[in-house]
Structures are given as structure tokens and as C-alpha cells.
Amino acid sequence: MRKIWDIHGGIHPTENKKQSLSEPILQAAIPPYLYVPLSQHIGAAAKPIVQVGDKVLKGQAIASASAAVSVPVHAPSSGTVFAIENKTVPHPSGIDDLCIVIETDGLDQWRERKARQDFNFFADDELLSIIRNAGIAGMGGAGFPAAIKLKSNDSKPIDTLIMNGTECEPYITADHSLMLEKANDIATGLAILAKIIKPKTILFGIEDNKLDVVNGIETALNRIDFSTQSGCTTDVRVVTFPTKYPSGGEKQLIEILTGKQVPSRGLPADIGIVCHNIGTAVAIKDAVCLDQPLISRITTVTGEAVNRPRNYHVLIGTPVSFLLEQSQYQADKNNRLIMGGPMMGFALADISAPIIKTSNCILAPTEAELPTPPPAQACIRCGMCAEACPASLLPQQLYWFSQGKELEKLEQHNIADCIECGACSYVCPSNIPLVQYYRASKTDIKQREIDHHNAELAKRRFDTRQDRLIRLEQEKIAAKQARQAARKKTNPPNDKPPTANTSAANADTTATTDNAEREATVKAAIERATIKKATLSTTTDDPVARAQAKREAQLAQDQADPEAKLKRAVESAQQRLEKLQIKLAAAKESDDPNVNILEAGLEKAQSKLISSQQALDDYKKASHSED
């Protein structure tokens, strides 16, 4: 019997796990539409590589990884890409996000697969790329891309691999049923992990409320020789330990099994440990041995508002409402729908949100089962939260600092180590939603970091711009000075001391004549300018005023000589007519669709010409008769 350690704090909420374990895992039906979000976990969203209307086969990649921390997305079933648009996604905000909507054809037709039962065929880096390309993200909760966790880092050698079969949160039995029914798949997945990581110790952690799976897991593990896989003597142990929430947290499980603590703000790899969920192991086995990417998962549907609580093997992208129907969901009994468990889950704003890679449970409780939390009351400084905190933090202090938005103090009190397990809120006699305060403050801290980073960038850009402006100004001044200096050289100043007395007189006279000439030209230019100004009676730099002046001048001229105006009208009408005729001819030749418009224009121009001609004739007649 291996020694186990205890963690600080923790709680013992009612488990409520029996309900969903009464029946075996059921393959859920294929819904008519699958909504596959492009961002299902930590890291950058995937980029769609299909178009609306494309036919896709089951398992075909439909979106590719867009960054280092990102995984591709695959079609969960065969069908047609119906849309790529913003749809409701399972997220506490209720904000829509980009999804690929697939209209399924019901055939569930796989793309070509290369099944290979013997994974020893692959080299380690090939296995890694298979895992990455299969879109495997941690199936436990946070959904960290599995391939990144597996990548070896020479500075941080891993000696212990931990399989997390804890599933400490109430109601959820997805991992439990997986261990009951697919022990062999878990063992094979673990063997692949051992081949990549090459650990000296493999610890399989199971809480003692799941003792019924231990035998099956041990038999499955005994069938595999882990020492050959890892290339060194590997000790494999199934370790059971007392049930307590939240012993399934990565850092908590490591402490329970090894007695080591992951350093604050560090990773398990810092102390030579890596931790994977059993769901991830099964997904890796499917990807490597069956060439099946991660397109489905086990999800628990439970709560008193469903008549048939059970576990489903469900396609990613299946709407929650569709899944609930299969469990005979009674919407009127349900007070709020929760994705995840009662401790760490979040209320779903929309029942049509899809199942994603990290959705381990859909909880539909009645009001009596999981009452709406009563209004928060004052903190009475009882200190129960500090006793319950599994990370040994001071939740009460964090609460005050969160209220006061003292982000610096929060950081000093290690809010970053809070795993948001909800144990503090659970024990709080005043019903203060403590975790929500911490979540808000954590995002505020993150936002402040981003803001400071952006401010630093903006400052750099501002400084560069200032420097540039100063430099340009200096260059301008320098250029001006250079020009002046050059002018001085070519036109030596008049008061230059004469070289000889005789030439001095001559120079003087030429200078005076030069000056006189220049003065005359300048005077003439000024006169021209004033005349021009007078005629336009406005400043030259105002185009509107200039145009007005021109018009007025024209008007005055017209009044003086009305015949000229009429003549001009006739002339312009004639000109327009000619132009139009030419255009029309050209348009007719090239079958231009504007022919009709041009013809109408021509008619108008003709009538205008006639009327202006008429006006001119009338005027002439009138003036003649006057004569």
C-alpha cells in the first residue's frame, strides 16, 4: 500500500453520483444540425478550412490550429456545411461565438481511416503530431491542448505520470463510467503516454467512492508491460484515497499522491510530474490506434428534472436540448440548467448551446434539489472559508481586496493560485458568492496586464513619433540654413568691399541699375495683382467667392447685352446636341444599355435648342420693331 498524503481544506458535499450510474453509457443519436464552436478551450480559436455548402465526412478536419496553443476541429458526423456564423456557445457570458454548423445526412460516414492497432510503429514525434492533429484538448475541465503538455522539455525531465480518475465533483460520472466500461482503452492510452513521456512511476489516482472500477483497471494495466514502453523500469500503481472535494484538481491530486506541492504560479512539470485525465487517454488511444480524431465524448446528463439520468457517448456539437430530450427532460421542473458540476459549472443561458470537448456534465436540478442561492449577507469573519480552501489561501482577505479592487494586494495574496473550486462559497454561512469575486478580480488582473502592455507599446510609438517630428523640424531648419548659405555664395552681397577703386564705381552703378530694374518688375507684378483682385473683388484663395464673383460679372455683362446671352445659350445648346449625337452613335454601335437614356437626352437637347433659338428670334424681332 502506497503512502498517501492529505490536502489542506476540502469539503464533503452530497455526491449524488448513483443516479446517473444506473444504466450503461448510451450512444446518443445524431442531431439534424451540429454546432461546432471554433474555440472550445484555452488558447486561440481554430480557423475554418471549409466553406458553406461543402460536403464533409465524419472525422474530416474542418478548422485548423491557428497558433501554438490551439488545436484543430473535426466534423463530428458526415453532412453538409450549413453555415459558418455566430451561434450560442456554452460560455458563462452567454455571448455568441463563431461556430461551424453542419447539416447531418444521417449516414455517419467516416473519412478514410488507417487503423493501426500497434502504436509501436510510430516514433514519439509522430505520436505527438497525431495527438495534435486529432484536436485533443484535456478532457478534464480546463481543456489544455494535450500535445503541448506532452512535448518533452529537457530542462524539466518528467519522472512521474499521473492518471487522473478522481472525478471529485458531485453528480458527474462521465469518468467513472468510462473506467467501468473502457478500462482496456484507458490502459492502451496510458501505454502510449508512457511511450512518449518515459516516466519512472505511473500513478493512477482513484477516489474511494469508485472502488468498483479498481479491479477492472488493475487487470487492464497488468496486461501491458509499461517498462518496455517507456524503456526504463516503470512502476505502475493504482492508488485509491479518501473522497474529498476538490482532490481531483491537478495540484491537489499531485499533493495527495506524491506529497509534493506544485510551486505557486508554476506547472507540475517544474517538479517532474505531468497529469492527464483518463478521458484524454481514451481520446489518444482512439487517435493513434483507430485514426479517429476527437469528435465525441462521454457526458453525464443528470439532475431530478430529467427522468432518465445517464451517461451518453455524444458527438461534439450536439445541442444540449437535443441531448436532454433523450433523457426525458422536464423543463417546468428545472430551475436552471448547469453545464459542468454544481461546484464549478456555470448556468447555461441558452438550452440550444452545443456540447464541446470539455462538457463533462449537463445538470438539470429542481429547485428543491439545488436551490437558488439566497441573497448574500455580511461577512461575519468566521474563517470557515480559509479552513475549506484547498490552496491554503485566505479567501476572506481576497474578498475584501476584491471589493476594494486592490489588485496589487490580491496578487500578493496569491489569487493566481485559486483554482476556483467553490469550496469557500460552499461553506460560507453568509452565502457570499466568493468565487465570483475571485473570477472577476482574476480577469481584472489579466486585463490590467494587457492594458499595461498596450500602454507600453503606445508609449514607444508616441516617443518614436516625437523623435521623428523633432528630427524633421531640425532637418528643415538645417536645409533652410544650407539654402541661405548657398544663396549668399552665388549672389555676393552688395556691400562687399571692392577689390579696386576703379571697378567700385562701375559696380555701384550696375548694382543701382539692377535694383531699379527689379523694383520696376516687382511694382508691375503688384499692380497686376491689385487689378486682378479688383476685378474679382475677392481674395484669390477662396474658390467659392471667386466663383461667385465670376458669376456676378457674367450677370452684369448679360444685363448690358441680353442678345449676347441668348446667342450664347443657342450656341451651348447646339454644342450639347452635337456631343450627344456623337455619344449616341457610339453607344448604338457598341450596344450600350444606356442608349434609351441617351435618346431621351437628345430629345431634350433638341427641344432646348429650339426654345433658345425661338427666344433669340423673339428678342431680335422685338429689338427690330423698337428700331
Partner 1 sequence: MIEFISLNPLLSALIALAALGLSFGAILGFGAVKFAVEGDPIVEQINAILPQTQCGQCGYPGCKPYAEAIAEGDAINKCPPGGEAGINELANLLDREPLALDDDHGQEDIKKVAFIREEECIGCTKCIQACPIDAILGAAKVMHTVISSECTGCDLCVEPCPVDCIDMLPVSVGTQAWKWQIPERNPFYNANIIASDQRSVDTPKAKH
Give me the least distance between CB of 377 and partner 1, in Å please: 6
Cell of 572: 451651348
Residue (49 or 379) nearer to partner 1, CB: 379
Cell of 168: 471529485
From 86-94, 100-108, 317-325, 349-357, give the range in contact with partner 1 by CB under 8 A.
86-94
From 313-321, 369-377, 486-494, 555-563, give the range in contact with partner 1 by CB under 8 A.
369-377
Gap between the Cα atoms of 302 and 340, Å rounded: 11
Query: Is there binding between residue 407 and partner 1 (CB under 8 A)?
Result: yes
Residue (20 or 358) nearer to partner 1, CB: 358
DSSP 118: -
Q: At CA 318, angle to CA 80 and CA 301, rounded to 5?
A: 165
Query: Is there binding between residue 67 and partner 1 (CB under 8 A)?
Result: no
Give me the least distance between CB of 155 and partner 1, in Å please: 30
Cell of 124: 514519439
* Percentage helix, strand, coil for the chain under 3-state DSSP, each rounded to 5: 45, 15, 40
Residue (261 or 430) nearer to partner 1, CB: 430
Residue (129 or 464) nearer to partner 1, CB: 464
- Which of 62, 84, 89, 162 binds partner 1 (CB under 8 A)? It is 89
Strand (E) positions, 224-355?
235-241, 273-277, 296-302, 310-315, 338-339, 346-347
- Which of 444, 558, 592, 599 binds partner 1 (CB under 8 A)? It is 444
List the x/- string, 447-466, binding to partner 1 by CB under 8 A: xx--xx-xxxxxx-xx-xx-
Give me the least distance between CB of 366 and partner 1, in Å please: 24
List the x/- string, 205-244, binding to partner 1 by CB under 8 A: ----------------------------------------
Give me the least distance between CB of 461 and partner 1, in Å please: 4
In single-letter form, the type of residue at position 398 comes to L
The residues in 373-392 that bind partner 1, with binding defined as CB under 8 A, are 375-381
47, exposed or middle or buried, with CB in 10 Å at 0-12, 13-18, 19+? middle
- Which of 406, 417, 592, 599 binds partner 1 (CB under 8 A)? It is 406
- Which of 103, 408, 527, 561 binds partner 1 (CB under 8 A)? It is 408
Answer for the pair 145, 71: CB distance below 8 angstroms, yes or no: yes
Specify which residues 302 forms β-bridges with.
363
Query: Is there binding between residue 439 and partner 1 (CB under 8 A)?
Result: yes
The residues in 306-345 that bind partner 1, with binding defined as CB under 8 A, are none
Residue (94 or 272) nearer to partner 1, CB: 94
Helix (H, G, I), strand (E, B) or coil at 296: strand
- Which of 219, 403, 512, 572 binds partner 1 (CB under 8 A)? It is 403
CB atoms within 10 A of CB 3: 8
Encode 143-178: b = buried (16+ Cβ within 10 Å), e = exposed: bbbbbbbbeeeeeeebebbbbbbbbbbbbbbbbbbb
**Beta pairing class for 201-207 and 160-165:** parallel
The residues in 28-57 that bind partner 1, with binding defined as CB under 8 A, are 39, 45
Answer for the pair 54, 116: CB distance below 8 angstroms, yes or no: no
Residue (86 or 494) nearer to partner 1, CB: 86
Gap between the Cα atoms of 501 and 508, Å rounded: 11
User: How far is the CA of 397 from the CAs of 394, 404, 436, 441, in angstroms?
Assistant: 6, 11, 15, 13
From 146-154, 168-176, 402-410, 607-615, give the range in contact with partner 1 by CB under 8 A.
402-410
Give me the least distance between CB of 439 and partner 1, in Å please: 4
- How many residues at the interface with partner 1, by CB under 8 A? 44
Judged by the rule CB under 8 A, the positions of this chain that interact with partner 1 are 39, 45, 89, 91-93, 95, 97, 375-381, 402-403, 405-408, 433, 436-437, 439-444, 447-448, 451-452, 454-459, 461-462, 464-465
